[in-house]
Amino acid sequence: MKTGDAGFITTTLENALEWGRSNSIWPFTFGLACCAIEMMATQASRLDISRFGSEVFRNSPRQSDLMIVSGTVTKKMAPRLKRLYDEMPYPKYVIAMGVCVIQGGPYNQGYSVVMGVDRVVPVDVYVPGCPPTPEALTHGIMLLQDKIRKREGK
Amino acid sequence: MPYEVKEEAGKDGRKIFLIQKENFLELMTDLRKQGYDHLSLITAVDFRDRIELVYHLQKSASNFELLTVRTVTYDSTIDSVTSIWESANWDEREQYDMMGVVFRGHPNLKRILLPEGWVGYPLRKDYDLSKNQYVNMDDEGNDRVSFDPGDGW
Amino acid sequence: MEGQLNSRYVELNMGPQHPSTHGVLRLKLLLDGETVKNVEPVIGYLHRNAEKICELDYYCDSLIYFDRMDYVAAMNMEVGYLEAAEKLLAIEPPERVKWIRVIMAELNRLASHLVWAGAFGLDLGMITPFFYFFEEREKILNLFTEICGSRQETNYMSIGGVYQDFNDKIIFKIKQFLKQFPKKMEGAYSLFIKNDIFLSRTKGIGILEPEVALSYGVTGPMLRASGVPYDVRKDAPYLVYDKLNFDIPISKGKDVLARCIVRFEEMRQSVKILNQALDKIPDGPYFNPKAKKSLMIRLRGEGDVYARTESPKGEFGVHLVGDGTVKPYRLHVRSPAFKNLSVLPFLSRDVLIADMVAISGSIDLVFGEVDR
């Protein structure tokens, strides 16, 4: 983005769009397990993510841009997760929150947990921790905003 | 009593009743009549050659005192106690799901935690953890289980 | 398919991803207009095989899976597991440890009920209480961070002890928190209890008779709201609950409102317990030398034990079988929310679909524990 001396701004339409997009990411309430409570805490008082334009948690995949997969994805849940992801409109982003979502976490020697949600849907930002603190999730959202502005997303 | 009950004390001082599988349902019916109205937990323990079933009962009239009933089955079948306590319904389904114990007379004996069609009973000692199973969903919302990784997501 | 179109009833699928199912519960509803005719809960979408993994791990390692069972009340889960494990391994925690555990368990009970209250408000369409309750919960989690370094899944306790000792600063901070907490809680509570809409949505809804509750194995605040005064802390005291003075709140209301009132009264009792425990906590070691860190993985146990404790959801039982090795042979958990959920089909027969949401919210479901 370049600013001219005469008080006007020149930019491309894409840049303006990405800037707007990055500051109004509407997350989808996809709470699965422990991390979902931390996701709620991120939304609640003290660590209000509306400061980053993401306060509107939508309950329908059709209205949201970002899926925060928070909590263990089991094999029984994986096909449902994929269907919900398919129902989201483009452009769409995924944050994998917590080690269970990244690679199975403490449950990776078991039989019913998916070893990483990236086997089911593509992931943009990984937030490690068990569970990650709300600050970590906020940082993840900011990383995603950077990524959108640099047009590294889809 | 027409049947024999062996009584012993557990490691933690619990009262334990040991009963033959044949007389199991009679004992449970009698215990319900004696005031044990709260069935707390049904556990199945796999000892490779046999499966031990442990029932924890409580009596609401006397401060929920605990009574453990233990029985052993060699062919993985046992009479269902759903007609005596409603709470046995989900407990027995869980033990069927995890251990493969068939409860005779259960109204709706199907898997509860794992999807229908899952192969094997995971909490048994001979369950093979190295084989991955994959779950897919058809248009109706029913689960399809397969071993084929190509069928995975 | 053709037959179903002509049918009077409509089948509706609610979940597994739905904001008012508190996680991943799927409800197959059979509706006649807006009236629920039949509900079939489908669970297992969060089945994480914790019981199997515990069989593959050492006794001391199993603790982390308990943290993640009832993930809003990790301390209570740890107390439940350690009650069983310490019985099996014949290790007695020192006196100070018992008091520390009571303090942590009660603090976490407060946090758990606060999460419930916030989520229950959201279920009924009230957004404001959520922020008040979560603010108080954040204060508790800050205390946890100071004591054990982690917010939610604390893994604070260990066999025969706790990970770190309390000091005067911590005790002072907890006391400070308790001083301001009742006022804040009552303020947010009045948002519930003085609201006509809230009352009309909860009063007389989801009536659960005590005989039915007992038969379904319901425990915890749900059973106490039906008028049965069962609380493991009183009926079979563990830790040092027999040395503390507190009451078991019961209600004769039997409905959703009664469950709400009982939970808030429990929070008041927890504050009472905490104030006493903080004054009475004795000095002494904070772990048993028989179970210090280097010896922890060599602990062996044989036989079987069953221990029950009172978690915020109800009676939490652990049945632990050892075969003389360093790993558990079989571990089975009596999950209170699993049993409490099984009564939902009974409660939601012939109620309106909006009331069914209120009923399922009043159960206090946590799916880490239902599915394990």
Is residue C4 scored above 60 in pLDDT? no
Determine whether the interchain pair B129/A109 forms a contact, defined as Cβ–Cβ distance below 8 Å. yes
Number of residue pairs across A and C with CB atoms under 8 Å? 94
pLDDT (tens digit per residue) in B89-102: 899 999 998 888 99
Q: Nearest to residue C144, comparing CAs of A31, A131, A106?
A: A131
Instruction: Tell me which of A13-17, B119-123, C52-56, C63-67 is least confident.
Output: A13-17
pLDDT (tens digit per residue) in B10-29: 777 788 888 888 888 888 88
How sure is the predictor about C1, in pLDDT bands with cuts at 50, 70 and 90?
A: very low
Name chain C contacts of B41, Cβ cutoff 8 Å. 306, 317, 319, 332, 334
**Which residue is closest to B132 within chain A, CA to CA?**
A111
Cα distance between residue B56 and residue C317, in whole Å? 10
A15 touches chain B (CB under 8 A): no
Instruction: Tell me which of A43-57, C239-253, C294-308 is least confident.
Output: A43-57
Cα distance between residue C144 and residue C139, in whole Å? 9
Q: Where are the domains of chain B?
A: 5-112, 114-153
How sure is the predictor about C265, in pLDDT bands with cuts at 50, 70 and 90?
A: very high
The SS3 call for residue A88 is: coil
Name chain C contacts of B89, Cβ cutoff 8 Å. 342
B16 touches chain C (CB under 8 A): no
Shortest distance between the Cα of A93 and any Cα of chain C, in A, equals 18
Place of tokens 């069983």: C84
Determine whether the interchain pair A74/C368 forms a contact, defined as Cβ–Cβ distance below 8 Å. no
The predicted structure's pLDDT at residue B150: 66
For the residues C158-165, what does the mean pLDDT come to?
86
Q: Please answer whether residues A98 and A70 qualify as being in contact, where contact means their C-beta atoms are separated by less than 8 angstroms.
A: yes
Cα distance between residue C55 and residue A111, in whole Å? 13
Helix or strand run (H / E) with residue A16? helix A13-22
For the residues A100-127, what does the mean pLDDT come to?
87
Q: What does pTM read for this prediction?
A: 0.90
Is residue B148 scored above 80 in pLDDT? no
Q: Please answer whether residues C307 and C238 qualify as being in contact, where contact means their C-beta atoms are separated by less than 8 angstroms.
A: yes
Structure tokens, C210: 């005590």
Kindly report the number of other CB atoms within 10 A of residue A6's CB atom. Answer: 5
Is residue A10 scored above 80 in pLDDT? no
For the residues C200-217, what does the mean pLDDT come to?
88
Which subunits have 3 or more CB–CB pairs within 8 Å of chain A? Answer: B, C
Is residue C112 scored above 60 in pLDDT? yes
> Was domain B5-112 assigned CATH 3.30.460.80?
yes
Is residue C57 scored above 50 in pLDDT? yes
The predicted structure's pLDDT at residue B65: 85
Is residue C25 scored above 50 in pLDDT? yes
How sure is the predictor about A154, in pLDDT bands with cuts at 50, 70 and 90?
A: very low
Where helices occur in chain C by DSSP H, the ranges are 2-6, 50-56, 63-67, 74-89, 95-123, 128-148, 168-193, 196-202, 210-215, 221-224, 232-235, 256-280, 336-341, 344-347, 353-362, 367-371
The predicted structure's pLDDT at residue C177: 92
ipTM of the complex: 0.88
pLDDT (tens digit per residue) in B57-87: 888 888 888 888 889 989 888 888 888 888 8
Which subunits have 3 or more CB–CB pairs within 8 Å of chain B? Answer: A, C
Across the interface, which of C212, C232, C342 has its CB nearest the CB of B90? C342
Shortest distance between the Cα of C368 and any Cα of chain A, in A, equals 6
Determine whether the interchain pair C49/A112 forms a contact, defined as Cβ–Cβ distance below 8 Å. yes
Cα distance between residue A31 and residue C32, in whole Å? 30
Place of tokens 């914790």: C50
A8 touches chain B (CB under 8 A): no
Structure tokens, B92: 């027995």
Across the interface, which of C56, C141, C368 has its CB nearest the CB of A109? C56
